Structure 1
């Protein structure tokens, strides 16, 4: 259990080199967003085609980006960074999506992006220091989120298997994962307990999906042979190549390839950021990076890749806008590389291969419907497990910083957000409630109406 407990305080005091690098990368991502070549928010990407083709104005697209991103920036990105001491993509790349699209001129986009990066690296640590000096230290209390996030996140492959392949296989996967967690805790206490379990779960899911697709393909081939339609089936496949969607995908892929050097620079930058170990690509990853468990963090982010490759590939081919982090493979690769120079080279190569392979990946996904469905179930399962873990962790944080009254405030704000139709997205609502609750408790303390819980 000690492997999931953070230090009593976190620090966002980066070196000057790290600060300048973050500023430069934010400037680059804002510029790329301005060019409509890539955005980080998967929900914004489908709207980029209308923007690229001139059917949607810059202000309207900015409004969409802000509406889909603001909750994650202030409700998840900032709280996670302050509580873990590690930067994350919601805090860095969602704002540069917005600023890049908002900027009316090319030269203004990198200036706005760089300014945001400066706010993060120079301002966040000051806010962190002030918060830790308050009578009710809600940032230290928020570190309670680490244990439920890390352990409940382990179950996402089980949920995905259950949703796609039924209760029996899901139950077997759950038993296997529990056994592997217990074995890891017993035999390798210094290793994150969920590492082997997640690996086994993801492999089982992929295995089930591939087996189903292969069996279906063999059954279809056998039926075609029996009916004497093998030749006509081949002709139908050729006709499918004239599908308007295939033409759109081809045009989008060509558009992205024209900017391959710029994407290689982006890939190098994101990979170097991960290699610096001041950045985590996910909720669980942030806490693992904060504890120096880089190999475990790489495993976690690597498993997430399988849930996002189909989404990112298809939306990129449909819209002509790629992902700021690509398929996110540069995250786990960067965590494990020994120096920034190698990370820059490898990141550039990985992004180049991803962009060049987009069309091929789209065709492969079209032939593996069960694998494509698995990615959707994985994303849904990741969201479900993290929503529960973050809510539970936020209530633990409330209990630490103020006992019952803090649970009342934090839980009440969360429930109020639900009753109001979720103006703050569910995943970000609980951490945001902890921060608001912490501020309220400090005000009550200064009014002599509340006594902090003694640690």
Structure 2
């Protein structure tokens, strides 16, 4: 892997600063946030049922662990920025700002801190006797290869152990084949593709079987019941509906469905009214991805650091399917979109040949996503198995990454401190678990590596520890 240098060009510095300013402004307007857990709370804020301070507190509580425990360590160890480091703080700063003009100022200031401060921190850390940032690069192999197994977990959970075993054998065979025939390619690329396609194929087949069964049952019921019986049933149903809701207030459907449809329609219309802002946001994210200083995920950051841009695009493309239903439904329910949209803007940006085309592509992707949001919501409602597959993918990604990051962090601990490093990092992780996870599990292990690195350097200066050689 190349050196994890965070020395950005002036253009890249200005792009990061401008994008952070824009994302903070959009968060201030409650039009979009990056944290999926914060988005559902924005509806109450937009409708005046909660205060800006309370919403900011929720955002900070759900984001701080990811920023300092995952975003910063990943950026320092790979030399590639990530959305947790850039956009989670701008969520908080944008919501915190009491004035519209102050939000982009605070967001831009955070972007400047990132691009100007990280390089200095990176250089200082590499001068320490115990170089824990270099050790953290040992995380790359577990993250890349264990991440590739997430489709196997999703297939197993949704469709059972036999099909899960088939997916596992298929991925293993394709990984071995890729390593043998195409050693220059990331070995998990074809395996992930096959696993995701298998999952989607099984889900679509289940939905099609369900719809055929429903149509067959409907035809059978219609054949058994005569026209007169059907008419009487409809008349009785209408009479009951009028009796419950009042004859003077006719309804076309269940009140809850009408209310939800009205809410979704209003949310989609709110987002469409601000389409130019979203197009500008999409252009900025795509340009930053095209410059290969921004990665959309943990595995992606390491792939970009190695120069494997095509594989990085593939990984983030598959990842997007796991989060699309969550982002779509929370956006329609709250009227707030995602800072990275459905995240398809990342892989598109990686593959663009120049910033101008990346900006155009990013703007077009965001425009298409926002305009299609209502249709996507209706489609997901008609395909429950596909929607469940996305939820299974998202959960499998989280589980695979939690194991990979923990295992990689222990490898990093061994590299910088031998058994003592493993003891400290593993002990901090276990302590976090015993205390009820004040630091979210995925961020706890990288945070423990950095804390362990600081402790080992202190022990070295006290002449109580000798750094591991090699």
Fold agreement, TM-score > 0.5 = yes
1:412 counterpart = 2:427: yes
Q: TM-score, normalised by structure 1?
A: 0.97
1:146 counterpart = 2:140: yes
Task: Report the CA distance between 1:239 and its aligned residue.
Answer: 2.8
1:77 counterpart = 2:71: yes
Q: What SS does the aligned partner of 1:277 have?
A: coil
Q: Please report the RMSD computed on the Cα atoms of aligned residues, expressed in angstroms.
A: 1.7
User: 2: distance between equivalents of 1:400 and 1:414?
Assistant: 17
Matching residue within 260, 263, 275 for 1:248 = 263
Task: Report the CA distance between 1:10 and its aligned residue.
Answer: 1.2
Q: TM-score, normalised by structure 2?
A: 0.94
Q: What SS does the aligned partner of 1:228 have?
A: helix
Task: Report the CA distance between 1:362 and its aligned residue.
Answer: 0.4
1:449 counterpart = 2:464: yes
Q: Which residue of 2 aligns with 1:337?
A: 352
Which residues of structure 1 form unaligned runs of 5+? 1-5
Shift of the 353–238 alpha-carbon distance from structure 1 to 2, 3 Å rule, reads farther
Give a deviation string over 1:147-206, Cα, whole Å, max 9, x none. Answer: 000000000000000000000000000000000000000000000000000000000000
Q: Which residue of 2 aligns with 1:239?
A: 253
Q: Which residue of 1 aligns with 2:380?
A: 365
Task: Report the CA distance between 1:243 and its aligned residue.
Answer: 2.3
Give a deviation string over 1:60-112, Cα, whole Å, max 9, x none. Answer: 00000000000000000000000000000000000000000000000000000
User: 2: distance between equivalents of 1:287 and 1:451?
Assistant: 29
Q: What SS does the aligned partner of 1:239 have?
A: coil
Q: Which residue of 2 aligns with 1:402?
A: 417
Task: Report the CA distance between 1:238 and its aligned residue.
Answer: 6.7
User: 2: distance between equivalents of 1:199 and 1:39?
Assistant: 29
Q: Which residue of 2 aligns with 1:64?
A: 58
Q: How does 1:38-437 map to 2 (within 5 A)?
A: 38-228=32-222, 239=253, 243-437=258-452
User: 2: distance between equivalents of 1:152 and 1:111?
Assistant: 40
Q: Which has the larger radius of gyration?
A: 2
Q: Which residue of 1 aligns with 2:241?
A: none
Shift of the 108–191 alpha-carbon distance from structure 1 to 2, 3 Å rule, reads same
User: 1: distance between equivalents of 2:346 and 2:59?
Assistant: 23
User: 2: distance between equivalents of 1:364 and 1:240?
Assistant: 20
Shift of the 377–238 alpha-carbon distance from structure 1 to 2, 3 Å rule, reads farther
4+ runs deviating over 3 angstroms: 229-238
User: 2: distance between equivalents of 1:124 and 1:51?
Assistant: 34
Task: Report the CA distance between 1:22 and its aligned residue.
Answer: 0.3
Q: What SS does the aligned partner of 1:105 have?
A: coil
Q: Which residue of 2 aligns with 1:3?
A: none
User: 2: distance between equivalents of 1:337 and 1:429?
Assistant: 35
User: 2: distance between equivalents of 1:163 and 1:359?
Assistant: 29
Give a deviation string over 1:221-244, Cα, whole Å, max 9, x none. Answer: 110111018999999997369521
User: 2: distance between equivalents of 1:304 and 1:238?
Assistant: 39
Instruction: Provide the aligned length of Structure 1 versus Structure 2.
Output: 449
Which residues of structure 2 form unaligned runs of 5+? 239-250
